[in-house]
Amino acid sequence: MSDDQPTVPIVCPDCETESKIPLSEVEGAITRHNERLHDGEQLATVDPAIASRVADLAARDLGLLDEE
């Protein structure tokens, strides 16, 4: 467990909830939420306002971006 893990806001317009999830758990958290509460419908998502930043962070995390 490292605590320098960036967190990502997950929003669900249907539940009107927002929660911050560590980047590495985001995908699972969204899937679990949607399966448990919405019958597998893709309602909860990464906050659209930062979705592109998250893709960036994830890419960097995986070493896909080479920039320092």
Write out the residues near Zn ion by the rule CB under 5 A.
12, 14-15, 37, 44
Q: Closest Cα to residue 53, out of 68, 65, 44, 66?
A: 65
In angstroms, give the least distance from the CB of 61 to Zn ion.
Answer: 26
Which residue's structure tokens are 């070493």?
63
In angstroms, give the least distance from the CB of 27 to Zn ion.
Answer: 16
Nearer to Zn ion, 37 or 54 (CB): 37
Q: Closest Cα to residue 18, out of 8, 4, 27, 28?
A: 8
In angstroms, give the least distance from the CB of 2 to Zn ion.
Answer: 28
